[in-house]
A and B are shown apart, each in its own frame.
Chain A
């Protein structure tokens, strides 16, 4: 190593500091990572501002019909609150996502655990899950309408059906990736089949299951527009749908930022609980 020609350059503290950015598969320290993230976001917003500046539509590089300016989006917020009842929509959407996704967890995780531990059940469930995963998501709109009408039930079950195959698949994967050594250790310590499932496999897979649920929660949010396409009175997806029809582009962007803020908040909350639930895994997250 010391014979490497770059050895002296790396020893230079300034060069070492700079090389941090280019090291292979090395995460930046927390503060620096946040800083880089903010800078990147600022650059994108700066570009956005640059491309959409100008008083009239003709003087802009990108027409306001295509992309409203940042300030126009900011100005859209007050009317979203006052005239379009943003809070009621946030509440309605959150309720649907939480119910639909919660139901997907209640059904998908236990079934996934059973499939992950029992070969026969897994063999039976795999083709069904594969079928469900590959259903074009929009098809669920007419189907859920036939089955559950056009009220809240349809919207909740739409999200449930859209998410449950993925929740199931991730739970199966989490159980199956627990190394065999742990199962064998349990066996040589006299654990029964049930005890291995309850005391070894589930506890060791749970952090992975939780982590994948955190990621899938974003997926559930992605489906709200489709879920709220029919007969919704409130909801963020419904608001985007109507804004689209009315041509209010700045409202659409404003709502996207609201969704981003909610997602960020929920993810932070889930991370916080993750640390409490799985203290033994905090070092690895």
Chain B
């Protein structure tokens, strides 16, 4: 992780813009690249206008007030995940994230797909690991991390996690890997085998061909399928994915994206997906958080078009690419201002 060369005073608080991109006609499968991205275009226009505070953006304080107001309503269900001015500073003084505030609401029958974008060292993984309750990121130095209204105390099966590194247990076959969590819960061997078979098929592996294979006999994509099946079999309400497709070749990556979208729709889980790839973030996400680097803080929340067409087709559309390029510009700008030390 790159550390700042010198201790800089806190940067002037970046205003958290929340830009909504309304989608009028997603259900009708419009002509690709035409009306679908109209809302995004409007946002792009406001960006290009050079008014960082223009359009529908609101300041961080306003977001916080709105959050507080919503939380105060008695009947509202607690948000799935809520960060309230979360800062993480390590013992050596390095601050990974500063004042990160966001909330993801509980949408009945549908979990949101949140993608988190940012340069290396922007604290993307820190946010995931705080939700997961994994040390040393957990616990936060200041601020509150709440999952379903309760503070996070440690890791648990309700928040599944898929890492970029391949973490299939070498000593277990595909089926035994997938059944690991059920085994820990004490589910009978017959039932867990049954359910593991089902989960293996769901992620596009074959029980007869791959079920008895050991991880060293699998490709990277297959290993990540195993990792996803292993998490989803426990029906987590939150799935945390830390650059799971980062080490895969482009073609496998697109296939995995499509598979993930269909699994997510079925699982109805809230997904947090960290990635370096802007295309991946825009394609997969309902919402994309853009982080500034060192210390990371959310500088923008975008609502992006949902993945309603195959990755290969949608990621080629001009409207889609326009969004990608605009985000790239935003990140670059961010990078320049960070390096300039302003």
Contacts and interface: CB of A to CB of B under 8 A. Distances in A.
Interface of A: 179, 181-182, 184-192, 195, 199-200, 203-204, 206, 278-281, 283-284
B157 A190 contact: yes
24 contacts: A179-B165, A181-B167, A182-B169, A184-B167, A187-B154, A188-B134, A188-B159, A188-B161, A188-B231, A188-B240, A189-B160, A189-B180, A189-B230, A189-B234, A190-B157, A191-B180, A191-B181, A195-B184, A199-B180, A200-B169, A203-B169, A206-B171, A278-B171, A283-B216
Contact of B185 (A186, A190, A279): A190
Contacts, number: 74
A190 B180 CA distance: 9
- Please list the 7 inter-chain residue pairs (A to B) with the smallest Cβ-Cβ separation, ordered nearest first: A190-B157, A187-B155, A189-B181, A188-B161, A280-B214, A203-B171, A185-B167
Interface in B121-170: 132, 134, 154-157, 159-161, 163, 165, 167, 169-170
A187 B231 CA distance: 11
B215 interface: yes
Residue among B155, B160, B234 with most chain A CB within 10 A? B155
B183 interface: yes
Contacts of B134: 184, 187-188
Contacts of B230: 189
Interface residues of B, number: 29
Contacts of A284: 216
A190 B181 contact: yes
Is chain A's binding surface mostly helix, strand, loop or mixed? helix
Given A189-B234, A190-B184, A204 B161 contact: no
Given A188-B134, A206-B171, 13 more contacts: A181-B163, A181-B167, A184-B155, A186-B184, A188-B155, A188-B161, A189-B157, A189-B230, A189-B231, A189-B234, A191-B180, A195-B184, A204-B170
B182 to A, nearest CB: 9
Contact of A189 (B154, B184, B215, B240): B184
A200 B169 CA distance: 7
A278 B165 CA distance: 22
Nearest to B129: A184
Contacts of A206: 171
Contacts of B157: 188-190
Interface of B: 132, 134, 154-157, 159-161, 163, 165, 167, 169-172, 180-181, 183-185, 214-216, 227, 230-231, 234, 240
A185 B325 CA distance: 35
A280 B170 contact: yes
B133 to A, nearest CB: 8
Contacts of B165: 179, 181
Contacts of B240: 188
Residue among A187, A200, A204, A279 with most chain B CB within 10 A? A187
B215 to A, nearest CB: 7
B207 to A, nearest CB: 19
A274 to B, nearest CB: 13
B170 A188 contact: no
A184 B169 CA distance: 12
Residue among B161, B227, B234, B240 with most chain A CB within 10 A? B161
Contacts of A181: 163, 165, 167
Contacts of B215: 280
A269 to B, nearest CB: 22
Given A188-B132, A188-B159, A188-B231, A182 B167 contact: yes
A185 B169 CA distance: 9
A179 B164 CA distance: 13
Contacts of B216: 280-281, 283-284
Contacts of B156: 187-188, 190
A190 B234 CA distance: 9
A1 B49 CA distance: 47
Contacts of A279: 214
A181 B129 CA distance: 12
Contact of A192 (B167, B184, B234): B184
Nearest to B168: A185
Contact of B184 (A199, A280, A281): A199
A238 B71 CA distance: 83
Contacts of A281: 170, 216
